[in-house]
Each structure stands twice: as C-alpha cells, then as structure tokens.
Amino acid sequence: MAASEQANDPIHQFIVTPLMSEHIGAASFTNASLFMVVVSLAVTYLMVLGTSSKAVVPGRLQAAAEMAYEFVASTVRGTMGQEGMRFFPFVFSLFMFVIFSNMIGLIPYTFTVTSQIVVTFAFAALVIGAVIIYGVMRHGSHFLHLFVPSGVPALLLPFIVLIEIISFVSRPVSLSVRLFANMLAGHITLKVFGAFVAMMLGGGALAVVLSPLPLIAIVLLTAFELLVAVLQAYVFAILTCVYLNDAIHPGH
C-alpha cells in the first residue's frame, strides 16, 4: 500500500529525509544535502576539470565551460557594465548552481534542490543582502536615493517612496518564490501525469488503451520543463544582476 501510494503521491518527491540518522538536526546529511553536493561537484567538474587542459582549441567540455563563462559574463556586463564584473563570480556561481539544480532535478528519482523555498529564499536573501551591504559601503546614505527617484513632484514623493520601499522589500520574496514555484509546479505536473499512466494501466480496458496519452504528455512536459529549468536559472541570474546594479548605481 505504502509503495504504490508513494509512487502516486506528487508531493513525495519534495520530502527531505536524513540519509544517515533518524532525525533531522542542523548538521544532518539529507537527500537535499546530497544533491547540493552533487550539483556543486557537477559544476566543479565542468568548470575546473573541463578547463584543466587550458587548450587554445577547446575540447567539448572546455567549450561548454567557456560558453557558460561568456554567457554569464555578457549578461553581467550588459546589465551592470564593466564595474559589475566584481560580482561576476557570485552571479556565475549562483547561475550555475541554480541551472544544475534545475536540470539534475529533472532526472527521475533525483531531488530538486531549488524546489525548496528555504534554498531559493536563502539565495534571494543573499542577493538582497549583497545589494544592501555593497550599496551602503559604496554610497553610504546616498544609497537611500534608490527609494527617491529624481524628478518626482514633492506632493507625490511620499507616495512614490512608499511604493519604492514596498517594491524593494518584495524583491527577495518574488525572486525566491518565482524559482521555487516554477520548480515545484513543474515537478508536480510531471508526477501527476506519471500517476495517471500508472492508474490508467490499473484501470479498465478503455483506460489501458488511453494510457499512452498522459505518457506523451509527460514527454512534451519534460521538454517544456527543460525550457523552464534553463529559463528560470537565467531569470534568477539576470534579476540578481538588475538588483546588484541598483547597489552600484542607485538613483537611476
């Protein structure tokens, strides 16, 4: 009973379970921890081992590593300018971690690190924390001009400032929830359609005949989820760039 219900339960894939002990403590090594390690190792494999030959004419792995580098570098330069390249390692690590989490999570029986709100919120808090700390360090009180757009009539100013503050505060929420919700919803959808196949195969003759339909849907959805996985990683990275740009150039 338990096994089949587990198989049909679309939420089961998000459960964090300790792998070494019975109870979860702060230091427990869980399936989530395992996949964080896997993701980090995969990125490290691509970026460190893939570039170890330092070939002028790159191999496949090195070409992929260079492509990732140039893609993120051009995104960072495009949104923040040359000055923003100081945040490049941070944005790059973030992008690679998120995209590898999303992609590895699409493999059946794996765990999607970014489907946990605590992970995505930790990233968002890290980004906003970096924005505030760097903005204050760099510009001091001038950083508060971020909330006071220039050229606004004095009558509207309190209102505008309020809106700006709300928009700033909602950034970490929207940044984290967007990624989390996309991953969660996509994986639930895939699992629900998978459960359809299993249930229809166990049903009547008509259901058995029709059971390939949800299977086809899974194939199409998987392609769509690949797009979402890459797109959400990109959105996360580019929004990080946009927010960090505020720290570099407040009041624009």
Partner 1 sequence: MATEHSAGTQAHGGAAHSDVFPPFDTNHFSSQLVWLALTFGALYLLMSRIALPRVAAILEDRQATISGDLDHSVAMQKQAQDAVVACEDLLANARARAQALAEATHLKLAEEAVETRKSLEHSLKESLEAADVRIAAAKARAMHNVEEIAAEAAAAIVQQLTGQAPDAASIASAIAAGHTA
Name the residues that contact partner 1, by CB under 8 A: 1-2, 5-6, 8-9, 11-12, 14-18, 22-30, 32-33, 36-37, 39-40, 43-44, 47-48, 51, 54-56, 58, 62, 65-66, 69-70, 88-90, 92-93, 96-97, 113, 115-119, 122, 180, 184
Q: Which is nearer to partner 1, 51 or 211 (CB)?
A: 51
Cβ-Cβ contacts under 8 Å for 76 (sequence gap 6 or more): 84, 85, 87, 88, 91, 92, 241
**Shortest Å, Cβ 119 to partner 1:** 6
**Shortest Å, Cβ 109 to partner 1:** 14
Helices 117-139 and 157-201, packing angle to 10 deg: 160
Q: Which is nearer to partner 1, 47 or 146 (CB)?
A: 47
Name which of 190, 232, 201, 195 is nearest 94 in CA terms.
232
Can you tell me the distance from the alpha carbon of 18 to that of 32, in angstroms, rounded to the nearest whole number? 9
Residue 47 is given by DSSP the state I
In 142-157, which positions are buried (b, 16+ CB within 10 angstroms) versus exposed (e)? ebeebbeeeeeeeeee
**Shortest Å, Cβ 9 to partner 1:** 4
**Shortest Å, Cβ 93 to partner 1:** 5
**Shortest Å, Cβ 219 to partner 1:** 26
Contact yes or no for 190/225 (Cβ under 8 A): yes
Q: Which is nearer to partner 1, 9 or 83 (CB)?
A: 9
Q: Which is nearer to partner 1, 60 or 153 (CB)?
A: 60
59 phi/psi in degrees, rounded to 5: -80, -170
Contact yes or no for 84/77 (Cβ under 8 A): yes
Q: Which is nearer to partner 1, 110 or 168 (CB)?
A: 110
CA distances from 250 to 92, 145, 209 (A): 23, 6, 61
Q: Which is nearer to partner 1, 25 or 108 (CB)?
A: 25
**Shortest Å, Cβ 17 to partner 1:** 5
